[in-house]
A and B are shown apart, each in its own frame.
Chain A
């Protein structure tokens, strides 16, 4: 009886684990599924789409974005917060475009982040963060680094 019960318990645990695994896999936060893959586009297209994201963010809210660029960060003393960005540089360095991102798991800066300017590829969900003064900025939430 004990053996049967223990087997049933093990099977039930395995089933639960399998279901949980499936549901995790179905949640796009944990997958590499993307709606807009900027990493496969030409520099001209990336610049244009990022421009659209910055100027008309509402069209892109909720979409999974994959982006390749240079890592950048800066500390805003006014709000006591460090911002992280994925920047796409241009040849003249005057028309760079980029998006802020927020990592899926909390990380410590600078130890858990790449060095400034190093190439990164991230996947995350596009969002628009509104500030207290009503002005907001686009941000990629739950971002994960892709090698």
Chain B
């Protein structure tokens, strides 16, 4: 098995998958903690459906690099959803559900009516479940992913304290002089970027798992924001790497294998917490 793995690692696209998988899982887990605490757990799913709709439009328009359409559209919707605040007419989960289902339906409709490919079912399946997208990346995709991941990580590290303050109490953060609207906008943009990147790894339907599971697993075991963030990052990266390697060796779909690993990690953390609380 080890020899087989070394043989597979000789292929550049396997190495690309490991690099991109690690970076995406790291970025998604960092913001995942904030999203879960702000009760925006399902925003990942909603935005990934928006990205799917944008991808359908990009395919029809035959844009050379579909990122030029997907990224701006997803960012705009993320800003509208997260920065709409209390003044929005359609709030919280209702807005996310509406955008999510609407974008998915429109995307599928466009793909069917203006089909640019002979295999619509294959395109939809690949986009929704990630199928093998992560193993079909080109070097330019990897460079783009590395660059965007560095931006996300730097933003999170540089503004960690402000993100922490906004996560728990926006009013308190505002009172201490933090520009809450600006940082909510920043978080929305970062989330949109992560979602678009994560679609390659697990597909549009499974993005939520990548955002939510590591954060929830870490919250079972650790209590402070810092320790939960670090633990979520480690759990996410380990699960993604294990998922990619198992998928390559066993021939299973990459996205669902990664999510299965995340579920296993959550169960382990849940049982650990349960045993620990019984001892106390």
Contact = CB atoms under 8 A, between A and B. Distances in A.
Contacts of A46: 251
A49 B11 CA distance: 9
A42 B122 contact: no
B158 interface: no
A32 interface: no
A92 interface: yes
Given A42-B248, A44-B254, A51 B132 contact: yes
B249 A42 contact: yes
Contact of A51 (B8, B136, B253, B254): B136
B261 interface: no
A47 B132 contact: yes
Scoring B11, B132, B252 by chain A CB atoms within 10 A of each residue's CB, the highest score goes to: B132
B119 A44 contact: no
Interface string B239-278: 0000000011111111000000000000000000000000
Nearest to B247: A44
A41 B5 CA distance: 10
A44 B131 CA distance: 9
A43 interface: yes
Main secondary structure of the interface of A (DSSP, over half): helix
B11 A42 contact: no
Nearest to A51: B136
A92 B122 CA distance: 9
B13 A44 contact: no
Given A43-B251, A44-B247, A44-B252, A95 B131 contact: yes
A78 interface: no
A46 B249 CA distance: 11
B144 interface: no
A42 B246 CA distance: 10
Contacts of A43: 251
A99 to B, nearest CB: 15
B126 A95 contact: yes
B111 to A, nearest CB: 13
B119 A94 contact: yes
Contacts of B76: none
Given A42-B250, A45-B248, A94-B119, A52 B136 contact: yes
A41 B248 CA distance: 9
B122 A95 contact: yes
A31 interface: no
A100 B248 CA distance: 25
Interface of B: 8, 11, 13-14, 119, 121-122, 124-126, 131-132, 135-136, 247-254
Interface of A: 41-49, 51-52, 55, 90, 92, 94-96
17 contacts: A44-B132, A44-B250, A44-B251, A44-B252, A44-B254, A45-B14, A47-B131, A48-B13, A48-B136, A49-B11, A51-B136, A90-B131, A95-B122, A95-B125, A95-B126, A95-B131, A96-B122
